[in-house]
Structure 1
Amino acid sequence: MSMNGEYLRVTPAELERALKDPEWALELAEEVQDAQEESEPAPVEARHFTTHQTWHLLGFLLQRFAFPVDIVHGEEPLADDDWGYGPPRYLAPDRVRLAADVLRQTTYDQLIQDVDPSELAKAEIYPWIWDSPTSLEWARDLFAPLTEFFRGAASTGHAVLVWLD
């Protein structure tokens, strides 16, 4: 079984409801995920996005880059319920907007500049595949879509729920 980084765009009204009723939010997340499996919208339009197993690598790289928003783990608690590998958290619309602005100005090459795979192994970054310099390329194909997902969320004033599943 693998650990995947998951995101769900929600309106401010949906965020309010999710904070009061986390079970409803989990049901919404599952409904959106199921619906998107069939339609596969572009990341900028998608309500759900996954970074699959690259979440920990992306988190390490963004933290090392001094990224101002914790887009991998979220910043505010949503619930105490376990949504897979711990409770969900969220990013308020203003934090989503800041994340989108900084992501737009950040390249994957900037994130991996001067990173040695041994740093990832030493930090025990999941999924423990850091035995060659090319392993840093693993998350490249998800970074641009993640940037687009946040751009779409920011452009509509959405908050983002974040969890590991």
Structure 2
Amino acid sequence: MSMIGEYARVSPAELARVIRDPEWALGFVDELVEAELDGGDRGSGSDGGGNRCLDTDKAWDALGFLLHRVGFPVDVVHGEEEIPGADDWGYGPPRYLTPERVKVAAEGLIRISGDDLVTGVGPDELAAADIYPVIVWERGESLDWVREHYEALVPFFDAAARGGDGMLIWLD
């Protein structure tokens, strides 16, 4: 079983409802994911552009390590705020970023290229730091797939910030 980093863009009203009614949130997010998997309204972000869901596959821990290494000001891998009373969505309950923190994150992500993020870091450093999935780094695999997931995260956060959205973040 794999641990996958998951994201869902939510409007301020949706975020308020998630915080008020965390049981509603899981069904709501499941509907968003299903709609995108089924090829539904792919431009359903509140700004009219881009998907509302994204995953970073198993690259989430490496992304967190690399962003921490450059002193990134927002925890875009785990979220910053707990959702009171939220159930486990896979590997713990979801967390969230407010629209204001999404904007700070988007502004910071745009300033860091994928190449800059991974420059000077090799698989041996990730293996030594016990970054998930360790077996990948122990085999000496390239950080290219981490860079590719980062490069998908940048426009996703930018679209969320332009739309005034918050973000739900969890590991599944």
SS of corresponding position for 2:7: strand
Q: Are 2:94 and 2:170, in contact at CA under 8 Å, matched by a contact in 1?
A: yes
Unaligned runs of 5+ in 1: none
Alpha-carbon deviation of 1:100? 0.6
Choose the corresponding residue for 1:147, options 141, 149, 154.
154
- 1:61 pairs with 2:73: no
CA distance in 2, matches of 1:130, 1:145: 21
Aligned letter for 1:10?
Answer: V
Indicate the SS of the match to 1:39.
Answer: coil
Deviation at 1:110, TM superposition (A): 1.2
Contact persistence 2:83–2:95 (CA under 8 A):
yes
Match of 1:123 in 2: 129
Q: Which residue of 2 aligns with 1:158?
A: 165
Match of 1:12 in 2: 12
Q: 2:87 aligns with which of 81, 89, 97?
A: 81
In the superposition, the TM-score normalised over structure 1's length comes to 0.93
Cα distance in 1 between the residues matched to 2:72 and 2:149: 17
- CA RMSD for the aligned pairs? 1.7
Instruction: Output the CA distance in 1 between the equivalents of 2:116 and 2:3.
Output: 25
Aligned-residue sequence identity (percent) comes to 50
Please state if 1:111 is matched with 2:144.
no
Counterpart-to-counterpart distance in 2, 1:110 and 1:133: 20
Q: Which whole-Å CA distance do the structure 2 matches of 1:116 and 1:146 have between them? A: 21
2:156 is paired with a residue whose SS is helix
DSSP 3-state at the match of 2:121: coil
Aligned length: 165
User: Which stretches in structure 2 are left out of the alignment for 5+ residues?
Assistant: none
Could you say if the C-alpha distance between residues 133 and 65 of structure 1 is closer, same or farther in structure 2, counting changes exceeding 3 Å? Answer: farther
Q: Aligned partners of 1:53, 1:85: CA distance in 2, in Å? A: 13
Shift of 1:144: 1.7
Amino acid at match of 2:165: H
AA matched with 1:123: A
1:134 Cα deviation from its structure 2 partner:
4.6
1:49-71: CA deviation from partner (whole Å, max 9, x where unpaired): 11111111111111111111000
